[in-house]
Amino acid sequence: MTVNRMLRLIAGLFIFASVILGFYVSPYFFYFTAFVGLNLLQSAFTDWCPMMTILRAAGFREN
């Protein structure tokens, strides 16, 4: 699995969690997780994100 694909998967999980848990926890939790997920998704398309460095160190390939 590539770094970009893994980062998009993590971002999708954050967005999914914000939709599901936002109804049960609080609207502030919804906004926070949606913000984090959308920022990760945007970072996956611009090829710069601190999470990319972590994924590369974990052994995920570049392309």
Is 62 within a domain?
no
Phi, psi of 26 (to 5 degrees): -170, 160
Give the pLDDT score at 56.
84
Backbone torsions φ then ψ of 25, nearest 5 degrees = -90, -70
pLDDT tens readout for residues 9-59 = 888 887 787 788 777 887 787 788 778 777 777 777 776 777 777 888 888
Q: What is the pLDDT of residue 8?
A: 82
Is 61 or 40 the better-scoring residue by pLDDT?
A: 61
Q: How many domains does the chain have?
A: 1
Assigned domain for 43 exists: yes
The answer to pTM > 0.75 is no
Q: Is residue 13 part of a domain?
A: yes
Q: Is the pLDDT of residue 2 over 80?
A: yes
- Establish if 29 belongs to a structural domain: yes
Residue 63 lies in a domain: no
Instruction: Print the domain residue range for 11.
Output: 3-57
